[in-house]
Structure 1
Amino acid sequence: MTKKILLSVFLLPAVMTFAQQYGGMWIPTELNEKEMKDLGMKISAKDIFNPQKASIKDAVVQFNGGCTAEIISPKGLLLTNHHCGYGQIQAHSTVQNDLLSNGFWAKNTEGELPNPGVTVDFIVDIKEVTNQILQGTDNLMEPELAKQIAKNIEIYKNSQKIEQYQSISVKPMYYGNKFYAYTIETYKDIRLVGAPPQSIGKFGSDTDNWVWPRHTGDFSMFRIYADKNNKPAEYSKDNVPYVPKHYLPVSIKDKNENDFTFVFGFPGRTTEYLPAIAVEKIMKEIDPARIAVRDVALKTLDEKMRTDDVTRIQYASKYASVANYWKKWIGEVEGLKKSNAVEKKVMYEGSLVAKNPEIKTTLDQLNKLYNDQAPFALNNAYYSETIRNAETLMLANLYYNYITSVETGRMDEKGTTALKKKLTSFYKDYNAQLDAKVTAKLLALYANKTDAQFLPAGFEKYKNETQNIPTIEEASENSIITGRSEVNGASLSKDIEKAFSNQDKLIKTLKKDPVFQIYTAMRDTYMTKADPQFTTLQTKIDALQKTYMAQQIATDKDRKFFPDANSTLRVTYGKVKGSSPRDAVSYSYQTHLAGVMEKYVPGDYEFDVPKKLIDLYTKKDFGPYKDKTGDVPVGFTATNHTTGGNSGSPALDANGNLVGLNFDRQWEGTMSDINYDPRFSRNIMVDTKYILFIIDKFADSKWLINEMKIVK
């Protein structure tokens, strides 16, 4: 009791210092407009989202299904993060023409590079459709409840009149207590316009990822193309730059602490309303397991990438993807501890129970379910991360699914073609010899960290990492899965059509494959001894979480609730602000080009700086992009509540002008997906002044600046 009282005394002043105790990722049709205006916003909610006429939402798109991007010119010029466009930049790179290292800047629209398969999605309209989707679901339990909801969603979607290039997506909110329908318009001709070299766009790389101070010019530029009627169309040389309903003016005004900002984008996933027991399991068990697996994979890849340029280019995008959440989870664990997240949840639950005793029954049931699930959840974390990060086992998983589909009659010609296309793309950037080492080390970790009840018979032989390496290398050499052995007279990695020419022989050979047999032993054991139990308990947890969510909303009348992020369009807002994350440590809200030079390490893969950028700094050739300090601002932080998927999101000022490009969060606040704490939670943005400085002075691409509306 004493601990709880002290904690509340400690937390209350910190919370009262900030306007947003709980953060917020608001549906743009349900904005907390009064608080936004109290914090300094000068436009209206209708200026942000209006389905009837042009508004800011018409300049914000979901980029390639994951990140966010924004339109910054009347000619469909798109701005997003360098790390969001990284895969496309890599796809256009070769050892001879390394766009990752050298950067790329089209001289005109004719020089812009097409990216097959890349899309951007506009949100045309948002409607709450809870009554329609929950019709006829009273008193239904799973799985009948899910079936009825799925049926209602299809009925609703089929009842709507849309264009052939549009689609409707219905999303649950508040754990299925509400539903919203999104009308989406998809454009498919997206071309690469410009990207700084990774010594700018990825400056600081993994060392600086998730941390502040930050000096990364994390941006890249694309353009949307449309047909002659300005409608979505597949790539064609006859397509023309898209003319948007709205584009964002770009501000190069100085920023000051406590300036109002808001971020508009597609945050991926948060879980703000979990019970304390769930947060404790994540902090103490699940995240540490995920971190351990990725730690091994990343160290093994890094050793090779540092000494071999071919491997560095091959694995650049994959390594960055794996490292991103590895480091995020490390920060998340530290942040949950530092912010006393579990204790705060326990206190909040106590306050809810005091108002509504029925909630105690729900929480008691959730506590029991999470404890019952714990061993299965831990195995799920180790198993899924091992299969995901050992590419050889991931390939085996793809072939396992192929065989199952063939044998159950679910694999048609279209499915086979799609698989072959996916495999061809995968093998292009796959190093079987390198991944044999990764797989060997991860199998050793799995064998040592997994409870014996979840291990296949005889799996103890993989516990010794040193002995594993030659064993797995030999299996890899004799495997058709790795492409090092042939089937039907061809290698799967070199001539996939020929290798697939005799399906029966391919399947028969796969089943005898040494790598395939290792994978199937792991899979069969997991699917028998862990997955059914994990899934059954999770279904019960999900149903109770829905109840608990409804109880929170009904009971806590003083709290304004927003739904957890689920990759739908959201608005978050806050103020430009520095931070004091630890005793005697204070961070300013702004970094400058001088900081890039302070970190400069010649030839280093993370902290090298291009000569031209050094020359511009030395000459102080900053043009109109310097601030009141006389230096070029690079990045800044604010209290906006962001997460993955907000990468590339526009950061806007009180008037709706673009002032920054969201790309990261501060290390001490990465736990904000689970527990937003205003003392530590900061989003990190590239300053628009730095973006325009690089485009204009470094890239000599003033033709792009001339497209934009610059607010001085």
Structure 2
Amino acid sequence: MRNALAVTLLLSSGIAMADEGQWQPYQMPSIADKLQSRGIEIPAKQLADLSQYPMNAVVGLGYCTASFVSPQGLAVTNHHCAYRAIQFNSDAQHNYLEQGFLAASLEQEPSAGPNERLYVTEAVTDVTAEVTAKLSDDPLTRYEQIDANQKALIKACEADDNYRCSVRSFHNGLEYYLIKQLIIRDVRLVYAPPESVGAYGGDIDNYEFPRHSGDFSFLRAYVGKDGKPASYAKDNVPYQPKSFLKINAGGVKAGEGVFVAGYPGTTNRYRLTSELKFASDWLYPTQAKRFQSRIDTINAMGAEDEALAIKYSGTKAGMANRMKKLNGLLDGFRATDIATIKQQREDEFRAWYANQQGDNTLVASLEALVAEQVQQIQTRYYFDNAQSSDLLQAAIALYRLAKEQQKPDEAREQGFQERDMKLFAAKLTRLDASFDKRVDKTLWLADLQAYLAQSNRVATLDAFFGDKGPEALAAELEGFYAASELGTQDKRLAWMGKTPAEFEASQDPFIRLAVALFDTNMALEKTDKTLEGKLSIARPAYMQALIDYNKVKGLPVYPDANGTLRISYGMVDGYQSRDALYKQPFTKLDGIVAKHTGVEPYKAPQKLLAAIKADDLGQHRVASVYQDPRSWLCRLFSCLDKPEDFNSVPVNFLSSVDTTGGNSGSPVFNGRGELVGLNFDSTYEAITKDWFFNPEITRAVHVDIRYILWMMDKVDHAQNLLDELELVN
């Protein structure tokens, strides 16, 4: 068995070499052979067409991914992606994070919150020529020209205000694409299991496997009675999407090909080795330390006040996830020595480029600019954090808005144009749901103390706090919160229409500080823009050379993730996590019971445990998650159990698809384009894929559709929602 497994792993890792890539949809025909080799039957040309199934059913949340699964605008995503919606509707009397939530009818579906949106990508257009035409050699002017060109394209695209458009840079400024998205402004909460299901295992299991997380929730898109997007109103009606996903109730088996569509956030695979070393040696450890301190503060204060704990639950969860990812990146860098691997590859590229061009000034000039950027980050890190108070951030944004509103709309900074005002107001409104002045003050005090303890000081901030010891500083901050009206929603919103002179005359301490910091922040922003202007020449030139080199080497050429719609493919497969430890690709209900201790984060709901104990699995029972033992797939992909040995409901499974943050909630499709799961995490060993894709250990973690259906059917009795779904086998 050991020798057979070794051969299996060798073969599977060799095949997995082809699974790297977060591909733009239009690139699908160029990798059609790779898709077919994985058993993806749906035509590549169809996947490239955003107007066709299944891509027109995949939507963005702005920070996660979701997908339509019914003709009535029902959308499924991760529990942690719907967390803000659940939190928004929770209080001490109705704690839906703890209890779960299920609307029995449309009338019982509450708003997910004023900031929640669904974005349906309808068109992606190459606008490189329009953005980069006739650019100046002066760095700041060049930056401003690129920005102006982008804003002009966005303005033309948004002639219909039902659409949100953006221009995104690909390959670090080598290419630009205009993204046109229908924006659904009325999003409602429909169904969410308790957090003890959605995040079973909590921070302990985060990025780990085996996992047993029911990380799913359902939202619904609503529009006006005319079928057009509209702000929340009680008489709005469910949105009717152009298509919705078919759900394969039979799920997938080990070795089957799958693909994922979603909105991955950021990767750095084409960055220099020096940038990786800076992240590894300084940036990530520094950030992780701050996150841990803030989490500890929120935990301590939340333990004494349940309402406070609910308010900051989403904030804390986000920081905990980020902190564990940072620690995973650091562990991964040490375990695999990615810096050395990248340096070797970079040296090979440099040698090739020098042979082609006769010099290496291209790389040297980029290295110099990166060194300048690193210095800026380190110099400003503590000053930026010292402005972290939510009320100070609100004041800074409001004063900037007053300044920007003195300009013509097309000349304003993005984020402060008329197109941004609804979201701007919604952000100010939503602050109440996740803000408590006691927590905000404590967190801000820690950041100010860290700033005052280091040498990169700024005179305007020191004028307020520089001469104060710990007790005096704490007392000063107490006075800030006592004297400010920005903690009140209507007072915050009222400042949106005021002039710079009114801000400058204000005695509100947060507004006074925002006004005092304005010139310093604008000067730093100008420095940033100047550097970005320089990088807008150096990075695209470097990327073009690197792309040419990769093509010569036969390596995949796809852009780093940047929050835009992408497709990744792979197969259901386990992996060798370390010596003598092979992790099989599926977990089952038995694992929930085995982990259950009755204490968070392993405190499964009693109704779930009762259903498992009663063996109430119904049609969701799976005899085996492996291929027929006579098939070549079974012989190749570790059929270690007998076919009848599984005999449970699959909970989570692994695949080799290439994902990262933002892919949370992404639909996982079988080869026919049917929904078989939701992406929600990566394994700990795979965290470093943001910088380097290692096919042997890179695995994504998905919640199995069979577990979702079983929860809906046998545990939460969501028959009204099951009736909406189109189930196939």
TM range (shorter): 0.7 to 0.9
Q: Please state how far the C-alpha of 1:362 moved relative to its aligned partner.
A: 2.1
Shift of 1:114: 2.7
Written as runs of structure 1 = structure 2, the 5 A alignment for 1:260-659 is 260-357=257-354, 358=357, 360-388=360-388, 393-403=389-399, 406=402, 410=406, 422-448=427-453, 450-451=454-455, 468=470, 470-479=471-480, 482=481, 484-485=482-483, 492-493=487-488, 496=491, 507-508=504-505, 510=507, 513=509, 536-537=530-531, 539-556=533-550, 557=552, 558-602=554-598, 604-628=599-623, 629-659=646-676
Mapped contact 2:215–2:703 kept (Cα < 8 A) = yes
Q: Tell me what 1:3 maps to.
A: none
| Displacement after TM superposition at 1:517 (Å) | 7.9
8 Å contact 2:587–2:650 — kept in the other structure? yes
Instruction: Point out the more displaced range, 279-288 or 199-208.
Output: 199-208
Say whether the 8 Å CA contact 1:443–1:462 is kept in structure 2.
Answer: no
Deviations 1:530-567 (A, max 9, x none): 77666655543453222110111123322231011111
* CA apart distance, 1:204: 1.9
Cα distance in structure 2, aligned partners of 1:44 and 1:499? 53
1:40 aligned residue: 39
Deviation at 1:502, TM superposition (A): 10
For residue 97 of structure 1, what is the amino acid of its counterpart? Answer: H
Q: Cα distance 1:685–1:132, how it changes in 2: closer, same or farther (>3 A)? A: same
Q: Structure 1's 111 and 523: CA in aligned 2 closer, same or farther, altered over 3 A?
A: same
TM-score (norm 2): 0.84
CA deviation digits over 1:243-301, x for unaligned, max 9? 33221111232533221111101111112101111111111111111112111111111
Distance 1:408 1:347 in 2: 47
The separation in 2 between residues aligned to 1:26 and 1:485, in whole angstroms, is 52
1:48 to 1:493, Cα distance in 2 relative to 1, 3 A: same
How far residue 519 of structure 1 moved from its aligned partner, in angstroms, is 8.0
Q: Which residue of structure 2 aligns with residue 113 of structure 1?
A: 110
Q: Paired residue for 2:99?
A: 102
Equivalence for 1:7: none
Q: Deviations over 1:323-378 (max 9, x none)?
A: 22122111112223323221122111222223220473222233333334434322
Is the Cα contact below 8 Å between 2:399 and 2:503 reproduced in 1? no
**Aligned-pair distance for 1:95?**
0.8
| Cα shift readout 1:614-634 (whole Å, capped 9, x = no counterpart) | 101111111122222122211
Counterpart CA distance in 2 for 1:161 and 1:110 is: 32
Q: Is the 8 A contact 2:503 2:515 kept in 1?
A: no
Post-superposition offset of 1:219 = 0.9
User: In the TM superposition, what is the alpha-carbon distance from 1:54 to its structure 2 partner?
Assistant: 3.0
For residues 496 and 251 of structure 1, the distance between their equivalents in structure 2, rounded to whole angstroms, comes to: 51
| Change in CA separation of 1:523 and 1:669 when aligned onto 2, cut-off 3 Å | farther
Task: State the Cα distance separating 1:25 from its structure 2 match.
Answer: 0.7
For 2:198 and 2:546, the matched residues in 1 are separated by 43
Kindly indicate whether the alpha-carbon contact (under 8 Å) linking 1:290 and 1:385 is maintained by their aligned counterparts in 2: no
Question: 2:633 maps to which residue?
Answer: none
Residue 16 of structure 2 aligns with an amino acid whose one-letter code is A
> What residue is the counterpart of 1:131 in the other structure?
129
From the superposition, tell whether residues 320 and 366 of structure 1 become closer, same or farther in structure 2 (CA, over 3 Å).
same
**Sequence identity (%):** 28
- Distance in 1, Cα, partners of 2:434 & 2:463: 30
- Cα distance in 1 for partners of 2:320, 2:387 equals 16
Q: Which amino acid aligns with 1:659?
A: V
- Following superposition, the deviation at residue 592 of structure 1 comes to 1.6
Is 1:445–1:463's contact at 8 Å kept on the other side of the alignment? Answer: no
Structure 1 residues 70 and 494, CA gap change in structure 2 (3 angstroms): closer
Whether the aligned pair in 2 keeps the contact of 1:376 and 1:533 (CA below 8 Å) is: no
Distance in 1 (CA, whole Å) between partners of 2:532 and 2:457 is 20
User: Residues 409 and 174 of structure 1: is their aligned pair in 2 closer, same or farther, counting only changes over 3 Å?
Assistant: closer
Corresponding residue of 2:413: none
- Does the CA-based 8 Å contact 1:455-1:525 persist in structure 2? no
Q: C-alpha separation between the residues in 2 aligned to 1:532 and 1:168?
A: 25
Inter-CA distance 426–227: structure 2 relative to 1 (3 Å threshold): closer
User: SS in structure 2 opposite 1:356?
Assistant: helix
Letter of the aligned partner of 1:429 in structure 2? S
Unpaired stretches in structure 1, ≥5 consecutive residues: 1-11
Alignment-mate amino acid for residue 434 of structure 2: D
Aligned match of 1:145: 142
Displacement of 1:654 in angstroms is 0.8
| Alpha-carbon spacing, 1:132–1:516, altered in 2? closer, same or farther (3 Å) | closer
Paired with 1:221 and 1:378, the residues of 2 have a C-alpha distance of 41
The alignment status of 1:233 with 2:230, answered yes or no, reads: yes
Q: Is the 8 A contact 1:437 1:472 kept in 2?
A: no
- Deviation of 1:134 (Å): 3.2
Whole-Å Cα distance in 2 between the matches of residues 626 and 350 of structure 1? 53
Post-superposition Cα deviations, 1:420-464, rounded to whole Å, max 9, x if no partner, equal 76445324532222333323333333344x345678897999899
Aligned with 1:703 (options 720, 725, 729):
720
Q: In structure 2, give the amino acid aligned to 1:48.
A: L
Over 3 Å counting, the alpha-carbon distance change for 1:540 and 1:616 in structure 2 is same
Aligned to 2:360, the other structure's residue is in SS state helix
Q: Distance in 2 between matches of 1:93 and 1:400?
A: 29
- Mapped pair 1:50 → 2:60: no
CA contact (8 A) 2:143 2:532 kept: no
Structure 1 contact 172–180 (Cα < 8 Å) conserved:
yes
Q: Do the aligned partners of 1:638 and 1:683 also contact (CA within 8 Å) in 2?
A: yes
Counterpart of 1:370, as a letter, is V
Query: Cα distance 1:550–1:521, how it changes in 2: closer, same or farther (>3 A)?
Result: same
TM-score for both structures, normalised by structure 1: 0.86
| Kept in 2: contact 1:46–1:55 (CA 8 A) | no
